[in-house]
């Protein structure tokens, strides 16, 4: 029996290993524009260079081509450079639809002085289809983008099983709800999806508890069969099934305990052991490190202004950390402040006149100057009245 089992496993694995990970590369360097004919709509300034294809978008637009993927595409890897932070989209057309349209997958590009590699998972998208008749990329108005190459990755079954097993033991970062709730084991089948799985709630992929349910169903049916057909005594069949239940319980308990322990280890590594100026606090990044350094200056003049990223808890946290000195984030009182802190956003800049401006207009009439720069698009400001 063992020999037959080994031969069966070998015959099963052999064709799977022959189906190796494959990569389809579209290289735009050296004046190339693969594959086939590209259609450009919207922007018109598209030129090919040795370094890649340059797009300068005078208005919103996109460019598409008609691919012929022979295998299921699990992920796209872009080597791309942009002159400013922006949001672009991958586009693909639905199959057999009466009205022509495109599905869109937004992704973020950060300003860079050299081409950066952007990994985008497609395997967790129910709307993705590798047989899409058109595929391309959309660029917003005002963007300046250099595309070096696109790579389309297909993972073989062995790799998917391997990464699926690893994903079951990938832990989320700490969140307030983790006191009473954990997402538990989660299942993804490639390294890109595994890296991104906890970037949103619920996580990308599928619940790993389906593995537990399938194992319980198999052994439960087997135990029931042995009892009904008298292949085993009832007690022995039930003990075998309950042993499986106990083993799965222990594994899940170990995983949950390890995840909780990982929060403490992450804090120890990223906050406790780091020097001032290098510490990060979970999802708050360098906020506490930055605030600790800036607070003595901010509270030296009675009041100060603060701007953080979007609608976040940072303003409330600053009110608590600097009490009884109160921060200001808008309104006429802001113009009377001398010091301010910008944290975690690149939306605020100082213009040539010294005014502090954001996308909503003038935040402080200034003239303002940067007293100290921090990490995560953060800086301490002094504004004279």
pLDDT number for residue 4: 54
Span of 50-64, 96-110, 119-133, 261-275 with lowest mean pLDDT: 96-110
pLDDT over 90 (residue 15): no
Burial (Cβ within 10 Å: 0-12, 13-18, ≥19) of residue 287: buried
Q: Is residue 138 part of a domain?
A: yes
- Tell me the C-alpha distance between 364 and 334, whole Å: 7
pLDDT number for residue 17: 46
Last residue of a domain, one of 154, 185, 207: 154
Strongest mean pLDDT among 229-243, 292-306, 323-337, 352-366: 292-306
Mean pLDDT value across residues 95-123: 85
Q: Is residue 12 part of a domain?
A: no
Mean pLDDT value across residues 178-192: 85
Last residue of a domain, one of 95, 119, 154: 154
* Confidence band of 10 (pLDDT split at 50, 70, 90): very low
Mean pLDDT value across residues 166-189: 83
Token pair recorded at residue 368: 């303002």
pLDDT over 60 (residue 357): yes
Bridging pattern class, strands 304-307 and 339-342? parallel
pLDDT number for residue 249: 94
The number of angstroms, rounded, from the C-alpha of 234 to the middle of its chain's C-alpha atoms is 50
Mean pLDDT value across residues 135-147: 91
Q: Are 134 and 102 in contact (CB under 8 A)?
A: yes
Q: Is residue 1 part of a domain?
A: no
- Tell me the C-alpha distance between 37 and 39, whole Å: 7
Last residue of a domain, one of 108, 123, 154: 154
Q: Are 279 and 286 in contact (CB under 8 A)?
A: yes
pLDDT over 90 (residue 380): yes
Q: Is residue 4 part of a domain?
A: no
Mean pLDDT estimate for the chain: 86
Token pair recorded at residue 238: 């039930």
| CATH, residue 34 | 2.60.120.430
DSSP string of 63-97, one letter each residue? EEE----SS---EEEEEEEESS-EEEEEEEEPSS-
pLDDT number for residue 199: 82
212 and 320 assigned to the same domain: no
At residue 151's C-alpha, the angle toward residues 148 and 153, to 5°, is 165
pLDDT over 80 (residue 35): no
188 and 227 assigned to the same domain: yes
Mean pLDDT value across residues 239-243: 91
pLDDT over 50 (residue 14): no
Residue labelled with tokens 């294809």? 53
374 and 253 assigned to the same domain: no
Peptide bond into 367 cis (omega under 30): yes
Q: Is residue 3 part of a domain?
A: no
Q: Is residue 148 part of a domain?
A: yes
Token pair recorded at residue 45: 């300034």
201 and 297 assigned to the same domain: no
Q: Are 62 and 91 in contact (CB under 8 A)?
A: yes
What strand order describes the sheet that includes 349-350?
A: 349-350, 356-358, 361-364
Select from 147, 129, 123 the least CA-distant residue to 137: 147
179 and 161 assigned to the same domain: yes
* Confidence band of 16 (pLDDT split at 50, 70, 90): very low
Token pair recorded at residue 370: 């940067």
pLDDT over 90 (residue 73): yes
pLDDT number for residue 193: 93
Structural domain range at position 213:
156-273
290 and 212 assigned to the same domain: no
User: How many domains does the structure of the chain reveal?
Assistant: 3
Mean pLDDT value across residues 128-156: 92
206 and 127 assigned to the same domain: no
101 and 218 assigned to the same domain: no
* Confidence band of 45 (pLDDT split at 50, 70, 90): confident
Token pair recorded at residue 76: 């796209």
Percent of the chain with pLDDT over 90: 38
Q: Is residue 221 part of a domain?
A: yes
- Considering the entire predicted model, what is its pTM? 0.74
pLDDT number for residue 250: 95
Terminal-to-terminal C-alpha distance of the chain: 88
- How confident is the model over 296-352, as pLDDT tens digits? 999 988 889 998 887 678 899 999 999 999 898 887 788 888 899 999 888 888 888
pLDDT number for residue 253: 92
* Confidence band of 84 (pLDDT split at 50, 70, 90): confident
pLDDT over 90 (residue 246): yes
298 and 268 assigned to the same domain: no
pLDDT over 90 (residue 290): yes
150 and 162 assigned to the same domain: no
- How confident is the model over 162-172, as pLDDT tens digits? 999 999 999 98
Q: Is residue 11 part of a domain?
A: no
258 and 217 assigned to the same domain: yes
127 and 26 assigned to the same domain: yes
């Amino acid at each position: 029996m063992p020999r037959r089992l080994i031969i069966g496993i070998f015959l099963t694995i052999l064709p799977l290993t022959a189906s190796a990970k494959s990569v389809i590369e579209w290289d735009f360097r050296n004046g190339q524009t693969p594959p086939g004919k590209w259609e450009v709509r919207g922007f018109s300034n598209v030129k090919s260079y040795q370094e890649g294809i340059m797009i300068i978008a005078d208005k919103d637009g996109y460019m598409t081509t008609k691919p012929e993927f022979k295998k299921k595409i699990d992920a796209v890897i872009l080597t791309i450079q942009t002159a400013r932070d922006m949001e672009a989209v991958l586009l693909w057309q639905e199959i057999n639809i009466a009205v022509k349209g495109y599905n869109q997958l937004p992704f973020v590009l950060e300003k860079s002085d050299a081409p950066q590699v952007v990994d985008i998972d497609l395997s967790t998208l129910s709307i993705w289809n590798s047989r899409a008749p058109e595929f391309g990329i959309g660029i917003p108005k005002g963007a300046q983008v250099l595309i070096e190459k696109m790579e389309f990755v297909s993972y073989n079954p062995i790799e998917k099983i391997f990464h699926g097993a690893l994903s079951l033991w990938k832990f989320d970062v700490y969140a307030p709800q983790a006191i009473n709730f954990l997402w538990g084991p989660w299942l993804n089948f490639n390294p890109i999806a595994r890296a991104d799985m906890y970037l949103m709630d619920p996580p990308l992929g599928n619940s790993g508890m389906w593995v537990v349910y399938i194992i319980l169903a198999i052994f439960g049916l087997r135990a029931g069969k042995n009892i009904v057909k008298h292949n085993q005594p009832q007690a022995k069949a039930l003990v075998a099934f309950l042993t499986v239940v106990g083993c799965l319980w222990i594994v899940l308990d170990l995983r949950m305990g390890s995840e909780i322990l990982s929060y403490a280890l992450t804090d120890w590594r990223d906050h406790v052991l780091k020097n001032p100026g290098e510490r990060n606090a979970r999802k708050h990044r360098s906020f506490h490190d930055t605030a600790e350094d800036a607070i003595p200056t901010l509270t030296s003049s009675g009041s100060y202004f603060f701007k953080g990223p979007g609608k976040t808890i940072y303003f409330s946290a600053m009110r608590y950390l600097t009490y009884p000195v109160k921060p200001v984030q808008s309104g006429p009182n802001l113009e009377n402040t001398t010091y301010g802190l910008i944290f975690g956003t690149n939306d605020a800049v100082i213009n040539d006149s010294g005014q502090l401006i954001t996308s909503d207009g003038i935040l402080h009439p200034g003239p303002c100057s940067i007293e100290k720069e921090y990490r995560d698009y953060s800086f301490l400001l002094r504004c004279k009245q």
